[in-house]
Amino acid sequence: MKTTTAYALELSRTLAAARKAGAKTATLAVTDDGRLTLATLPAQIGDSASIVAHLTFRGWGDPWALSVDCAALKKLLARAKKEETVELVGSADPHRLTVTFRGATSTLPCSPASVGPAHGTGTSLGMLDVGNKALAWVGTAASRDDTRPALMGVHVRPTSTHDGFTFLDGTDGHRLHQASLGIEQGWRGTKQAEPFTLGSAALATAQALAKAFPTDKGHASVKCNKDAPKGTEYTLQRDSWSVSWVRDSERYPETHRVMPSCTKTKITLLDSAQLVTLASPAKAANSPLHLTVNGNIAAEWGIGAAPGSCSLAYASAQGVPTEPLVVLLNPAYLVDAAKGMGPGLVMGFNGDEDPVKIESGDWSRRAIVMPLLK
């Protein structure tokens, strides 16, 4: 058996991404063409995402493929640093993986495995330019409720031209995050692509891998395979990793129709951090937030022995009501929305029972938060 030497930090981060996406085991393989590959299949029945990551390694090992426990291998590579290497030797009889890291050698029991899923087949739809931060912010609002599978993911509405906009939507029915990608980002392709949803498992995988290998510049290719065994399959490929998922048959709601077209009262803040500071105490207290709009923005929370309050002066305002406007909100939703906005955040109100609209100063990100029942 020849030894394959890989970068420990890269392998550790990829294993962490696989675990976050729900995978308990992964196929680690040295292929015939000399690549070290880590691949995961769907974590459970009904979960349609799988990932493939091609890892950088030194040397040339004999081909082998083993199913390894993600947590056990990740534990051996704890606190791996940049440029540190790990030596891997796969054995077929008995099935085991020998790991040498920092001078210590360990053996992990394994089971036989195939090389893993092959990604990237199908028709190329185009290139999607999206920063990792935008994807993570939109995904914050996506539903985690498996009884509403159509909402579990980020919906992508691409355009067919270079100068058009691409919209990313995430919603759980109580809030909505929407990002628009303009000329410098968004969809680049000559074909008109149908909207598609980056499903929950695929989203978790993409977010985890993007966090492990942060690349805010560059683009990902998107391919569609309508002849896949389980239905229409999409593949998102970026740098050394790819993620594939099967399109959900349920229709995603037309979120652009629920975005308020106008608001009676518009409040402009100097920075989104002001709103985070305003809502965070209520979030920490796990208490609804009473937001009062009048001469300033006042927040009250807590019931009984430990109430709290604070106020915030705004930079400018339009249509301030003559009578105080009081809206009851989930403070966690406000914090999540504000964190992705940046300077010049604008809050819009129509009434105490209407959605609150929040927009970034450059209008590239929008969010709505539904009020709580009083």
How many domains is the chain partitioned into structurally? 3
Verify that 216 and 338 share a domain, yes or no. Answer: no
Residue 104's pLDDT is: 93
Contact 322, 335 (CB under 8 A): no
Residue 154's pLDDT is: 83
Verify that 133 and 217 share a domain, yes or no. Answer: yes
Residue 106's pLDDT is: 94
Question: What's the whole-model pTM score?
Answer: 0.72
Among 112, 146, 168, identify where a domain stops.
112
Residue 343 lies in a domain: yes
Residue 27 lies in a domain: yes
Verify that 153 and 218 share a domain, yes or no. Answer: yes
Verify that 35 and 99 share a domain, yes or no. Answer: yes
Residue 213 lies in a domain: yes
What's the rounded Cα separation, in Å, for the pair 101 and 89? 12
Verify that 93 and 147 share a domain, yes or no. Answer: no
Verify that 168 and 191 share a domain, yes or no. Answer: yes
Verify that 264 and 159 share a domain, yes or no. Answer: no
Verify that 240 and 345 share a domain, yes or no. Answer: no
What's the rounded Cα separation, in Å, for the pair 114 and 44? 18
Domain range holding 105? 4-112
Measuring CA to CA, how many Å separate 142 from each of 296, 317, 347?
A: 31, 31, 21
- How long a stretch of residues is the chain? 374
Residue 268 lies in a domain: yes
CATH, residue 337: 3.70.10.10
Residue 231 lies in a domain: yes
Residue 18 lies in a domain: yes
Closest CA to 110 of 160, 72, 58, 153: 72
Verify that 85 and 172 share a domain, yes or no. Answer: no
Residue 325 lies in a domain: yes
Q: What is the pLDDT along the chain (374 residues), one digit of tens a residue?
A: 678 888 888 888 888 877 876 778 888 888 776 678 888 765 443 445 677 777 766 655 678 888 999 999 999 998 898 889 999 888 877 889 999 999 999 999 998 886 655 555 666 666 666 666 777 788 889 887 777 767 777 888 776 544 556 788 898 888 999 988 765 555 555 455 667 777 666 666 666 666 655 555 555 667 777 776 666 677 777 666 677 766 655 566 666 566 666 678 888 888 888 888 888 888 888 888 888 888 788 888 876 545 677 777 788 888 888 888 889 999 999 999 998 888 888 999 988 888 899 999 888 899 999 998 76
Residue 44's pLDDT is: 42
Verify that 9 and 128 share a domain, yes or no. Answer: no
Verify that 68 and 155 share a domain, yes or no. Answer: no
Among 62, 90, 112, identify where a domain stops.
112
Verify that 103 and 156 share a domain, yes or no. Answer: no
Residue 159's pLDDT is: 62
Among 87, 112, 137, identify where a domain stops.
112
CATH, residue 231: 3.10.150.10
